[in-house]
Amino acid sequence: MTNQTRPKVGIFGLTSCAGDQLQILNCEDELLRLVGRIDIVDWVMAKSGNDHTCRLDIAFVEGVVATERDLETLRQVRARTSFLVALGTCAVWGGLPAMRNDLPREVLEREVFSKVVDHLDTVEARPATDFVPVEYRLPGCPIERHEFLQLVDSLLAGTVPELPAVPVCFECKTRENLCRVIYFDDVCCGAMTRGGCGARCPSHGVACAGCRGPIEEPNYDANVQMFAARGITWREIATRMSNFSAPVWMTYGLRSEAHHDDH
Amino acid sequence: MTTTRTISIPHLGRVEGHGGIFVKVVDQTVSEVNMDIHEGSRYYEALLVGKHFLEVQGIITRVCAICSANHTVTALQALESALGIPQSPRVHTLRGLMLQGAAIESHALHVFALALPDFLGFDSVMTMAAKYPDEVAAALRLKQLGNKVQALIGGRAVHPINTLVGGFGKVPSHRDLERLRGELAAGIDVAMSFVRLAATIPGPDFAARPTVFVALRPYDDRYRFRGNSICTSTGEEVPVASYRDIVREFTVEHSHAKHSALASGSTYQVGSLARLALWGDRLEGRAREAFQMLLPNGVVDNVLYNNWAQLVEIVFGLEAGVEACDELLGMDEVAREQAEYTVRAGRGVSATEVPRGTLFHEYEIDDDGLVLAANVITPTAQNLANTERDLRHATERLLAAGGVNDAQLRLNLEMIARAYDPCISCSVHVVRVN
């Protein structure tokens, strides 16, 4: 392929830990192969001499919108891009920075944020997907390298990959791990979280924290009931389930139950 | 008539996060120098309040990806200090190895992919790879090796999941450690070849300025990344638990990150060059050789040499990694390690030397193990005030020499900022409105 036919690509970070961009850099050998096939014209983290205005065939955006400047960047990127990818759980769901946005504050703030809650109201971090339409959502905190490479290869072939439709729980079973809920009474988010990580955390003897965001149609209430039936307090269930992507995790049911527990 | 010249770099490239440089010169006098940090705030410390201490690591590691292993180790040590949990020799060694993996990865990324293109006249490592494919591939393999260390011990290269208060979910097998040991040992010669290459590149002196260095005193008489007291090159020393006595944070209007100075008011530098300045004479083996080749007259007060200091620490990290593998291979093979402890209220402080300098974490927890308060001070935040001093000094010096055009001035200022290897995500997590 010549320079003329290589698609022009931009990679951008809004407010974030830069972990998804780092995962792209962590592709190391593959990265050198990739730059022969795509033309990365705008990537502030990795190069100088960037073109901030040209049309982009593909753009990847990581992070949450936490400042006006973030929003401006996001809108500019959207306007110049044909195929926009929300990269990582922050961009797709809001991730950890959005944790506080949808916490059932009326229930938990007295215990949880008693001294600082006034300050927290001043900033609300929201996912990129709340502000602009995107063509693809690649979750993960951080993204899985193989999923990123698969996405780029697919785009070059004129298609898009399908994300795993099964939850982490399914992958965990295939690895024959001891269940973190049944054997250890953990609040494990594996049954509600999109697979693709190979059940990395439970395979290390650690409960799933839900970092890849929810699978389609997760049954939150059944999970919550299951944890509660094992004697775990509503409060603990709520704080552990709300670590990632609070807006999606926190169902009305959990909120009202937590409220009962509190009184 | 007044003439005003401004140098503005809105998006500083090849650094982690969003920052810029703004310099204003009025009549040949530098009137304003700002390192602008416009990354948004994420209020991590406030997010931790009310969380159980077992959730702290998974949250605080996400302050920054490149530094995730470092935040992890520092947070766990601070929590264990609050709970009175001693570190077993295995846990201590595994964490030490993970810190070296993080340093190898971070230093390799910075030296080869972010800084070196400036010295060799490229705009990125990707264009550099077109001319030097073998060298770039070898450099990326070193970076990959750092990631392998972190993945083996932390469960993955970014945002570790295997690291627990009082232990590890899964302890690496001897077979995996033997393989890792072999790869680390083989990396030493590769790293030394870059040391020889770097020794041929002249170091510009536009950034030279008398500097105060700060680093932890190692916990024993060797070169280490962990220690219990903070030392300055001006002879001050305080225990880590009293870090607030020596590190004074203050806010500035142009930055979302706080700045730091010593209690005396002096700005200071932390990071590889600071560690070499204070403890470089303790280096052994090939790392000592690398130090002598790259800084034959010892550490000089010029931040551009921080790039070479990081290269020395890559060699050190590989050697220390081999040593740590040997220690672990000398212990019994176990599947998991978890210290027994009882939850109690307490306050704990921990500091570690991480790629960019000294990192402080402090937590206070209540009787139920819930976090009451958290405080994190990152190396980049500590370096910002010193970076601005360096930028001011270099601008004055370059203007005094005369004939410098804006493009040249801009590149030289960028090189200074990049030499600190600023990690902007880290630096801004910390703004608290109280």
Contacts of B65 in chain A (CB under 8 A): 17-23, 142
Report residue A110's pLDDT band, with 50, 70 and 90 as the boundaries: very low
Q: Are residues B258 and B124 in the same domain?
A: yes
**For residue B411, what is the domain's CATH number?**
1.10.645.10
B 139-158 residues with CB below 8 A of A? 140-141, 143-144, 147, 155-158
Contact B103, B312 (CB under 8 A): no
Residue A229 CB partners (closer than 8 Å, separation 6+)? none
**Which residues of chain A have a CB within 8 Å of the CB of B127?**
47
Alpha carbon A88 to chain centroid, angstroms: 4
**Facing residue for B65 by CB, picked from A69, A142, A240:** A142
Q: Which residues contact B423 (CB under 8 A, 6 or more apart)?
A: B15, B16, B17, B64, B66, B67, B356, B378, B379, B380
Same domain assignment for residues B147 and B27: no
Alpha carbon distance A86, B158 (integer Å): 19
Cβ burial of A114 (10 Å; 0-12, 13-18, 19+) is exposed
Pick from A13, A47, A52: which is nearest to B124 by CB?
A47
Looking at the complex, does the CB of residue A99 fall below 8 Å from at least one CB of chain B? yes
Nearest CA in chain B to A90: B62
pLDDT of amino acid B37: 75
pLDDT band at B256 (very low <50, low <70, confident <90, very high): low
A96 and B137 within 8 Å at the Cβ level: the answer is no
B16 and B111: one domain? no
- For chain B, how long is the longest CA-to-CA vector? 78
- What pLDDT score does A116 carry? 41
Whether B304 and B377 share a structural domain? yes
Residue B117 lies in a domain: yes
Which tokens sit at B309? 């200091």
**DSSP strand pairing (A136-138 vs A126-127):** unpaired
pLDDT of residue A134: 97
Q: Is the pLDDT of residue B419 over 50?
A: yes
* Euclidean distance between CA atoms B143 and B104, whole angstroms: 6
pLDDT of B422 higher than 60: yes
Which pLDDT band, with edges at 50, 70 and 90, does A106 fall under?
very low
Residue B142 lies in a domain: yes
- The percent of residues above 70 in pLDDT, for chain A, comes to 82
Phi, psi torsion values for A199, nearest 5 degrees = 55, 50
**Containing H/E element for A68?**
helix A68-79
Cα–Cα nearest to B269, from B405, B150, B382: B382
- Same domain for B29 and B178: no
Which H/E stretch holds residue B318?
helix B306-329
pLDDT of A260: 53
Residues B56 and B44: their CA atoms lie apart, in Å, by: 10
**pTM here?**
0.91
Convert A204-247 into a string of H (helix), E (strand) and C (coil): CCCCCCCCCCECCCCCHHHHHHHHHHCCCCHHHHHHHHCCCCHH
User: What is the model's pLDDT at position B39?
Assistant: 66
Task: Please say whether the beta carbons of B373 and B105 come within 8 A.
Answer: no
**What's the gap between Cα A98 and its chain centre?**
11
Pairing mode, strands A8-13 and A56-62 = parallel
Is B400 inside any structural domain? yes
Q: Which CATH class is domain A8-156?
A: alpha beta
Q: Is residue B433 part of a domain?
A: no
Neighbours of A66 (CB within 10 A): 25
pLDDT digits (tens, 9 = 90+) for B89-144: 999 999 999 999 999 999 999 999 888 888 888 888 888 888 988 989 999 999 99
A116 touches chain B (CB under 8 A): yes
Q: Are B318 and B188 in contact (CB under 8 A)?
A: yes
- State whether B126 and A13 contact (CB < 8 Å): no
Q: Using 50, 70 and 90 to split pLDDT, how confident is the model at A258? A: low
The verdict on residue B330 lying in a domain is yes
Give CA–CA dist B422/B39, Å, rounded.
Answer: 13
Instruction: Please state the ipTM of this predicted complex.
Output: 0.89
Residue-wise burial string across B123-147, b where 16 or more C-beta atoms lie within 10 A, e elsewhere: bbbbebbeebeebbebbbbbbbbbb
* Arithmetic mean of pLDDT, B226-254: 89
Measured CA to CA, the distance from residue B136 to residue A32 in angstroms comes to 9
Q: Could you give the residue range(s) of every CATH 3.40.50.700 domain in chain A?
A: 8-156
Cis peptide before B117 (omega within 30 of 0): no
- Is B353 a member of any domain? yes
B18 and B121: one domain?
Answer: no
The reply to whether B155 and B173 lie within a common domain is yes
Q: Say which DSSP state B147 is in.
A: H
Q: What is B384-432 written as a DSSP string? A: HHHHHHHHHHHHHHHHHH----HHHHHHHHHHHHHHT--BHHHHHTT--
Mean pLDDT of chain B: 91
Q: A64-65 and A126-127 as β-strands: parallel, antiparallel, unpaired?
A: antiparallel
Can you give the residue range of the structural domain that contains B20? Answer: 4-37
Q: Which of A69-83, A210-224, B7-21 has the lowest mean pLDDT?
A: B7-21
Average per-residue pLDDT in chain A? 84
Q: What percent of chain A has pLDDT above 90?
A: 59
CA dihedral (B233, B237, B239, B244) positive or negative: negative
Question: Which stretches does DSSP call E strand in chain A?
Answer: 8-13, 39-42, 56-62, 64-65, 81-87, 126-127, 136-138
Whether the CB-CB separation of A95 and A245 falls below 8 Å is answered with yes
Scanning B117-136 for CB atoms below 8 A from A yields 117, 123-127, 129, 133, 136
* Contact B84/A at CB under 8 A: no
Residues of A in contact with B63 (CB under 8 A): 17
- The radius of gyration of chain B's CA atoms, rounded to the nearest angstrom, is 21
Q: Tens of pLDDT along B31-85?
A: 888 887 766 666 777 788 888 999 999 999 998 899 999 999 999 999 999 999 9
Per-residue pLDDT, averaged over A8-28, amounts to 93
pLDDT digits (tens, 9 = 90+) for A137-179: 999 999 999 999 999 999 999 999 999 999 999 999 999 999 9
C-beta of residue B422 within 8 angstroms of C-beta of residue B256: no
Q: B358: which strand partners?
A: B353
DSSP B251: -
What's the pLDDT band for B15 if we cut at 50, 70, 90?
A: confident
Flag whether pLDDT at A4 surpasses 60: no
Q: Identify all chain A residues contacting B55, using CB atoms and an 8 Å cutoff.
A: 239-240, 243
* Higher-scoring residue by pLDDT: B229, B35: B229
Q: Are the beta carbons of B68 and A19 separated by less than 8 Å?
A: yes
Residue B252 is encoded by which pair of tokens?
């500035």
pLDDT score at B369 = 95
Q: How far apart, in Å, are the Cα atoms of B186 and each of B53, B145, B176?
A: 39, 10, 16
Residue contact A13–B143, C-beta within 8 A: no
The count of domains in chain B is 2
Query: Angle at CA B36, nearest 5°, toward B32 and B40?
Result: 155
Residue B434 maps to a domain: no
For residues B336-365, average pLDDT: 96
Question: Which amino acid does the sequence have at B102?
Answer: A
Same domain, B316 and B414: yes
Q: Cα B307 vs. chain centroid, distance in angstroms? A: 12
Model confidence at A256: pLDDT above 80: no
| Distance, CA of A246 to CA of A239 (rounded, Å) | 10
Mean pLDDT of all residues in A211-236: 89
Let me know whether B11 and B106 are in one domain. no
Average of per-residue pLDDT across A56-61:
98
φ, ψ at B261 (rounded to 5°): -145, 165
Q: How do beta strands A81-87 and A56-62 pair?
A: parallel
